[in-house]
C-alpha cells in the first residue's frame, strides 16, 4: 500500500512536470527501475501511463490551443510519425544497452534545461523557408527520440516550436502538450502489443499523471519558466550521474 501511494505521489509530480515542460520519463524511469522493473518494460509502462497525463495536459491547454489547432495538428502528425520509428527501435533494443544509453539522454536533458534556447519575442516575425523546413524536420526527429525514451523531449520540442510559432511560452507549450499526447498514444499501442507492460502499476501511475497533467499547464501560466528549468536541470544532472554509476 505504501509503495502504491509513493507511485501515485511520484506520478503526480511527473504529471505536473509533464504539463510544464515534459518530464514524465525523466522522473518515473528511475522510480520503476528502483523497484525492480526491467529497463525497457519500465519505459514502455511509463509511455502507456503517460497517455493519462496527455489527456490532462490537453484539457488544461485548450485555452492556448483555441487559435492554433492547425499548427498543433501539423506538429502532432510529424511528431507521431517519428515516434513510430523510435518505438520500433526500443522494441528491438536490449535492457543492457538501454540502461547504458539512458544516463546520456538524461545528462543531455539537464544541459539543455540549464542552457535553454532563446525564443522569439515577436510571434509575427518572418522566418526563412530553410529555417521552417529544418524546424519541422526537427519535430520528426524529436518524435523519434520521444518514441525511444523521451526524457527532456518536451524541452527539445519547446525549443523548436519557439522558432516556428514564436509568441508566448504557454502557447507553444500547449502545442507541445497536444503533440506529445498524440505520439504517446501511438507508441503506447505499439508497446502494449509488442512489449511487457507492468499492468499492476498502471492504475496508480495513471491517477497521478492525469491529475498532475491537468495541474501542470495551470502552474506554467504563473511560475517563471527559468526557475522551473534550472531546478529540474540540476536534478537531471545528479540523476544522470547516479544512473551512469549503476549502469557502467
Check if the beta carbon of residue 157 is closer than 8 Å to that of residue 22.
Answer: yes
Across the chain, mean pLDDT equals 84
CA distances to 115, 140, 143, 200 from 137, rounded to whole Å, are: 22, 5, 10, 37
- Whose cell is 491537468? That residue is 214
This prediction has a pTM of 0.80
| Residue (of 198, 161, 144, 175) closest to 28 by Cα position | 198
CA distances to 105, 118, 123, 128 from 25, rounded to whole Å, are: 11, 24, 31, 34
pLDDT in tens, 220-231: 888 887 787 788
Confidence of residue 83 (pLDDT cuts 50, 70, 90): very high
Which residue did the predictor score with more confidence, 127 or 78?
Answer: 78
Q: Following CA atoms 117, 50, 24, 76 in sequence, which dihedral angle do they give, to the nearest 10 degrees? A: -10
pLDDT in tens, 95-130: 767 677 778 877 877 787 787 555 444 444 445 677
Amino acid at each position: 500500500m505504501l509503495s502504491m501511494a509513493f507511485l501515485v505521489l511520484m506520478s503526480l509530480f511527473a504529471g505536473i512536470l509533464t504539463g510544464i515542460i515534459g518530464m514524465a520519463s525523466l522522473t518515473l524511469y528511475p522510480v520503476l527501475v528502483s523497484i525492480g522493473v526491467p529497463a525497457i518494460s519500465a519505459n514502455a509502462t511509463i509511455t502507456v501511463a503517460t497517455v493519462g497525463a496527455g489527456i490532462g495536459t490537453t484539457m488544461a491547454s485548450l485555452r492556448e490551443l483555441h487559435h492554433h489547432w492547425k499548427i498543433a495538428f501539423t506538429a502532432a502528425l510529424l511528431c507521431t510519425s517519428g515516434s513510430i520509428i523510435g518505438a520500433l527501435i526500443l522494441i528491438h533494443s536490449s535492457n543492457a544497452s538501454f540502461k547504458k544509453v539512458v544516463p546520456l539522454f538524461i545528462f543531455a536533458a539537464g544541459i539543455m534545461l540549464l542552457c535553454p534556447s532563446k525564443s522569439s519575442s515577436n510571434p509575427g516575425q518572418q522566418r526563412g523557408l530553410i529555417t521552417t523546413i529544418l524546424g519541422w524536420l526537427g519535430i520528426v526527429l524529436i518524435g523519434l527520440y520521444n518514441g525511444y525514451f523521451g526524457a527532456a523531449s518536451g524541452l527539445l520540442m519547446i525549443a523548436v516550436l519557439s522558432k516556428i510559432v514564436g509568441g508566448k511560452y504557454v502557447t507553444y507549450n500547449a502545442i507541445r502538450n497536444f503533440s506529445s499526447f498524440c505520439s504517446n498514444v501511438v507508441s503506447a499501442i505499439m508497446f502494449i502489443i509488442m512489449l511487457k507492460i507492468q499492468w499492476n502499476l498502471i492504475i496508480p501511475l495513471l491517477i497521478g499523471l492525469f491529475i498532475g497533467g491537468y495541474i501542470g499547464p495551470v502552474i506554467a501560466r504563473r511560475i517563471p519558466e527559468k526557475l522551473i528549468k534550472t531546478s529540474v536541470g540540476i536534478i537531471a544532472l545528479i540523476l544522470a550521474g547516479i544512473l551512469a554509476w549503476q549502469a557502467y
